[in-house]
Amino acid sequence: MANGDFEILSGAKFAAIANRASDFINSELRLGNSTDEVVCILVRVAADYAAAEYGLDYLEGLAHVLRESPKLSQEQGQ
């Protein structure tokens, strides 16, 4: 993915990382932080890492992948 070759990740690696992220979010919610606060901070930190590693164009490509995600499209009624 480093060169803009984006894909929707799946499989065991995706599940393991997604579960750890979900566990972290849930623990923060139990501490009284709002979903908005937690998600915004996580996205900002992830974006900083990605931009430092791959550049700002990577973030634009990633945003496109997220917009095209089947689950997100269904939730937005598209």
pLDDT in tens, 19-55: 999 999 999 999 999 999 999 999 999 999 999 999 9
Q: Does the structure show a pLDDT above 80 at 10? A: no
3-state secondary structure at position 20: helix
Q: How confident is the model at residue 11 (pLDDT cuts 50, 70, 90)?
A: confident
Buried b (16+ CB within 10 A) or exposed e, 6-26: eeeeeeeeeeeeeeeeeeeee
| Single pTM value for the model | 0.67
To 5 degrees, how large is the angle CA 71–CA 77–CA 78? 80
Q: Check residue 64 and give its pLDDT.
A: 85
